[in-house]
Structures are given as structure tokens and as C-alpha cells.
Structure 1
Amino acid sequence: MTDRVPDRIFHVATAADWRRTLETGTYTTSTVGRTLAEEGYIHASRRDQVQGVFDRYYAGLGEDLVLLSIDPARLTEAEVRVEPVGDDTYPHVYGPINRLAVVDVTPLNRRGGRETLMSLWLKGMALRMGIAIAVMLVIALAVLLVRRP
């Protein structure tokens, strides 16, 4: 436990919230279902805290998630404060996170681990194959119905 701001802080975000950031230039979601305006700060964590945060708040959410790696030195409109939460301390970002402060964005799997390019490709292929099979079944059914006397 330390009161010093780490060189990197982390935040689990929905992919939808991150896409909005790419459009607007700033990230303002505090945590699941809460904005910076509602909460007063954006929840963040040290790397060693990410899995616990994921397990407590994001597991089973059912949305695509990403892990934002944030360089506090690049924040232009926000201050990071390390504050006590229970028996530990967590970094809190007081203000919006500007896009350039996010130095890495990693897709997360349903267990909070990093998605690999292969797993993302396989998921995409499975989806496309499922759609193709469904279309073929509909066409086969339509052909059978048309051929009926």
C-alpha cells in the first residue's frame, strides 16, 4: 500500500464508453452506470488491484470490456489522488481523462484476462459461421416449402 501516485493507473471500461471517448476526446465514466459528474471522480486501480475490481464489479456484466492503461503525467484536466478505501488505497481521477493520457487499451475476456488476437478472431469467425448456417437453414426450409405439392 502506498500513497504515491503510480506511473500507470488502470480503469476497466465498457467498449461502448471507450468508443465514445474516441469520438469526444475525453472519458467521463466513473464506474459501471455512474458518471464522473455523479460520483465526483473516476475510479481507478493499481495493476495488482485490477482483477479484484473486475471480479467485484464487472464479472457477468455481459458487455465487451477493455482495460485502460493511463499515464497520470499526461492528464491535462484532472488530478490523481491516492485515497484510502477499506484497508487499501486506490487512485481516483478527479476530472475527465483526456484521450492522450490513455497509453494502452486492452480487450478483456469474460474472466478479466487479456483477449488475444486469436481469441478475438475465433469469436468473429464463430459469429459469422453461425449467421451463415442460419441463412442456409432458412433457404433450405424455403426451398422445401416451395416444392410441396
Structure 2
Amino acid sequence: MNKQRRPHLGWLSSFVMLCLFVVAPVQAQLSERFGDYELHYSVVNTTFIEPEIAAQYGLARGSRRAIINLSLREHLEDGSTVAREMDLDGRSWDLTQAQVNFDFVEVREGPAIYYIGEFKFINREWRFFEFDFTPSGSDEVLNFEFKQQMYIND
């Protein structure tokens, strides 16, 4: 599994959550259901991150750089949901098959758990994403794929 752990990146995770709502016209948070689990995902251009914050957490900013943000929720019998850890491997590629393997950073903010990976892109490029993940406590490896056209944010 390609994952680093950062136990508390308060501002960053709060920022990512804010982006999910404020940047909705650019890319809304999406989700996909896998039985009792729901995988939430979003892609955000790094120019939305303040330079000081990006430097503090080792994120590279740029008009051709983005982050993928993933989180996993489990739906419980009482109707509530809880964040779940997951083992996660992921990759992205473009139409020329140039591939990026993500080195995910795990971010924890209170009960929330996020996994963030960085990548580069060119304007109007179609990016393809694929993730294999195993929810904590499960032996089942789940697979998820999507594609998204990327745009430079000037």
C-alpha cells in the first residue's frame, strides 16, 4: 500500500472539506456505493491551497497540479455512517498511457479520515483514475474507476 500517515493536518483537511462545497462548479464531491461502504472522491486544483499551507504540508502548488481526495464511510444498521480506514492503491493515466502511481497521505481530523494523492496534468486533458481499496476489517478488495477532464485554473 502506498500511504504515509500524518495524524493531524487540521487546516488541510478542513480546507479539503471546504473545497468540496465551495468548488462545486469545478468538481463536486462524488461518491460510489459498495454494499455497506461509500467511497467519496474529489479532484481539486492545488492553486486553491494557500502557499503557506501547501509548504507546511509538503504539497506542490501549480496551475497544472491537482490532488485527489478519497474517504470511505461505512453505513451502519442504525442509519448512521462512520469513517473507515482503508488500504489503498491507486493510479492515474492520460490518453498516451503515461501513468502516475499515487503515494497517498492519510489525513485525520477528529473522526474524519482522508487519503490525498498529488498529480500533474495538462489543460483539457482526460485523466483516468483507478483505485483498489480494502476497508479496515475486511478481506474484500474493491475496485473503482472514473475519468475526468482537467482544466488549468488561472
- The structure in which a higher percent of residues are strand is 2
Q: Which of these two proteins has the greater Rg computed from alpha carbons? A: 1
Question: Shorter-chain TM-score: which interval?
Answer: under 0.3
TM-score (norm 2): 0.27
TM-score (norm 1): 0.27
- The structure in which a higher percent of residues are helix is 1
Higher relative contact order (CA 8 A, sep 6+): 1
